[in-house]
Structure 1
Amino acid sequence: MKTSDFNYELPQELIAQTPIARRDASRLMVVDRETGKWEHRHFYDILEELNPGDCLILNDSRVLPARLLGQRLPGGGACEVLLLIDRGERVWECLVRPGRKMKPGAKLSFGDGELTAEVIGEVEGGNRLVRFDYEGIFLEVLDRLGKMPLPPYIKEELQDRERYQTVYSRNLGSAAAPTAGLHFTKELLQKIADKGVGIGYVTLHVGLGTFRPVKEDTIEDHEMHSEYCVIPRETADLINRTKAGGGRCICVGTTSCRTLESWAAEDGHMEPKAGWTSIYIYPGYRFKVMDGLITNFHLPESTLIMLVSAFAGREKVLAAYEEAVRKRYRFFSFGDAMFLR
């Protein structure tokens, strides 16, 4: 298939720049995968779409304040470092700016010298290996000095950085939020549990490859980025019980979907697992465990819209996106949601 098959026209003003005041008051488009028909709801109505005996799988990864603004030493200009992957021994794989002046040997300072660093290597694709030097606990230093790594299409400054975290986030490690989960409140999750819906958690640390459009003309030629994920025993058991009882396994976000589909057996059976996944889901893929998907509206020509199209059909998905544009839905990370049932 051609990458251009997953393009659509999106007015710039529909790209949400800030979160709305109430998380679960965002709009929700409910799409029937069989008929392609849609309904316009609000996110709090998701309660009506879930049945006792279903299970809801959420990604509990927490976003690192991974964007560091500093200076090049000695007496150099400004620099920006975005932490991507912890390589151990105080070394992180990072995106850096300006790249041409951040070659191995470059020295950096952040927070008036509270945190210093040296570029020690370059990896395939242009990312840098950066070794940090600091006193105390790195995550505490990062919490003081770092900023939230918002996607490049968001130009507004985030006033409350907890709004780029899900209310159930707990495992630090993502370079971007699993944004489908941003719509949930603790109260809504409690109502869902009270209805008899099982709630399980996986962890997938989201990488920036999430936001990159596919550059190859043919989608099969795209090389998928890798991300670290974990399926705990209790979540695997919940999914197996749900399936055995005839319930649906509903994933919140493409990250939860990719985690489960990476490790599910052909018959949908789940075992606990931890490891790196580079699963690439596009039309033609046969889903092994996911029965429903809650997701946001994704960038044109991205691997995310390809995954959604694999689940619900490209034509139906693009028709739903056209309807969302007509109805002035909000798009991308801080935007509205879709439930594919």
Structure 2
Amino acid sequence: MRPMPFMLFSAVALVAQAPANVDLAQRFNQELPGITQMLKELKAQEALTKVQALIPAERPVFDASSPKAIGQSLDNAQGLMSLYRLYANVAAEAGQWEKATEIHEKRAQAARATLADLDKAQAPIVAQWKKASEDSAAYIAKNTPRQQELQLFLQTLKDDVAAVNSKQKKLEAKEMDELKARIAQAPANEQELAQINAALPVHKQNLANAPKVTKTLGDNRKEVEGMIKSADEAVTKAKKTVADQNQEITDFNTQQTIKKVKVVGKKNWVDAVMRAPENITKLGTPQAQVAFLNRLLVLDPGNKLAQKALDNLLAGKDAFAKPAKKGGAKKK
């Protein structure tokens, strides 16, 4: 449960927006096991279709109607980030590295849009608490001495009245008039003191809560800044992966050209990779091998060597399993 800003004794009204009608964090948690299982079963294309359908057509509206709604919107944003990350990972396993890069870029854009929404939503709360802190500090500074003054006035009056009533003190006519005036003033002073006694704890609580609210608002912003940082790092990594592979292919094709070998797009490089089975088998698990073969087939659609190795893996065989020999016809 994320902490929510403490409420003031007089809350400011925030502009309500239409609440998000879907819980993307829950959607991610529910769908992740199934997508993961599909990848283990080497069904990357099916998994890609499945996860693509989980991404909302538009980023959910950021609900700023209350501090609690803001927290729920942040949870929903985290869910969207997780879905984008899953989508990009599945696209990469399907060999579509460029698509994965685009997905990470959309994720980064969504994170930045979320930060803009959050700043707009929290601005009234920041202003509210700033004013409340200033007002409360001023009230305490002014009324704490007044509280003591009123308490002293009423206690002294009580003591003087008691002394006169018990005949411990005898007053002159002028002094009696002054006492009567003080007695007449007492109800107003009592009322003022009661108001101060009721208000001071509230103002003191506002001052105590203000740093906690500031921390909560700051933590909210750090959370979204973390989303942006993670997405940006994913974009950089994805772009580098594509660029490194493209550079490797370019360098290889340059050497082929020097050797006067006819270069056909990226086919020469893919063929060279497939002629060394260890390039595939060193990847270990069938899932990792299938992911790389999917990439090779994106680079060179229809490559027979890559397709055969992929078909073998999908059939539960080793990537480079040799076909079984057909039995010869028996002689009579």
Same fold (TM over 0.5): no
TM-score range, shorter chain: under 0.3
Q: Which structure ranks higher in relative contact order (CA pairs < 8 Å, sequence separation ≥ 6)?
A: 1
Normalising by structure 1, what TM-score? 0.23
Higher Rg: 2
Normalising by structure 2, what TM-score? 0.24
Higher relative helix content: 2
Higher relative strand content: 1
